[in-house]
């Protein structure tokens, strides 16, 4: 189940913090609860992605994006992600989530987030390709920025993000077309 109470807490806190710029760092603090654990008694990888959602939403409030989304009836979606898990987070362990938009292109905004243990070790890191959408599909970043009252120019895309974008362009869609698996309609 989505952590709606945590979401309400994080939105409450984010709305009381100062506004930030598009590429500024948003920091949120969390704790691993027993219902966040997997069978190995560590933060479940799926729950980690859900907790990253909370960090992005706090960031979106602080940049003013949520106000624009509501006014225009636009949505926010993830179009891709790449995650590295490096350190375990256990029950009742406190951690910090750091979130920032790194850059954008003609369709997507690239957001990086990380979870940091209280001892200073990075537990995980994720790169997201995010898009704003309306009933017709993707709303381009330049339109979103104009609606936010800015004509900001994207910082240069780091090489590691550009390499990921190129790799994603090579990935087949729809997937698994090399398999001879009958579809439900054909079965």
- One digit per residue, the tens of pLDDT, for the chain of length 187 reads 788 999 999 999 999 999 999 999 999 999 999 999 999 999 999 999 999 999 999 999 999 999 999 999 999 999 999 999 999 999 999 999 999 999 999 999 999 999 999 999 999 999 999 999 999 999 999 999 999 999 999 999 999 999 999 999 999 999 998 888 777 765 5
pLDDT at 2: 87
- For 24-68, the pLDDT digits (tens) are 999 999 999 999 999 999 999 999 999 999 999 999 999 999 999
Q: 10 Å Cβ neighbour count for 132?
A: 22
- Helix 45-63 vs helix 4-15: crossing angle, to nearest 10: 30
pLDDT at 1: 78
Sequential DSSP letters for 5-63: HHHHHHHHHHHTSPP--TTS-EEEEEE--GGGB-TTSSB-HHHHHHHHHHHHHHHHHHH
pLDDT at 179: 87
pLDDT at 17: 96
């Amino acid at each position: 189940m989505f952590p709606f109470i945590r979401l309400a807490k994080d939105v409450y806190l984010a709305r009381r913090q100062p506004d930030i710029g598009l590429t500024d760092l948003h920091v949120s603090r969390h704790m691993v609860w027993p219902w966040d654990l997997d069978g190995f008694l560590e933060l479940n990888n799926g729950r980690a992605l859900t907790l990253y959602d909370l960090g992005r939403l706090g960031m979106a409030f602080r940049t003013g994006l949520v106000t624009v989304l509501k006014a225009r009836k636009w949505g926010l979606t993830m179009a891709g992600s790449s995650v590295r898990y490096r350190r375990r987070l256990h029950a009742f362990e406190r951690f910090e989530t750091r979130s920032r938009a790194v850059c954008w292109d003609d369709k997507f905004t690239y957001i990086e987030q990380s979870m940091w243990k209280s001892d200073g070790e990075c537990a995980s890191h994720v790169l997201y390709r995010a898009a704003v959408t309306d009933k017709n599909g993707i709303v381009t970043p330049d339109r979103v920025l104009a609606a936010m009252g800015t004509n900001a120019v994207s910082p240069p895309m780091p090489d590691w993000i550009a390499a990921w974008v190129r790799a994603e362009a090579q990935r087949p869609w729809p997937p698994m077309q090399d398999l001879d698996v009958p579809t439900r309609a054909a079965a």
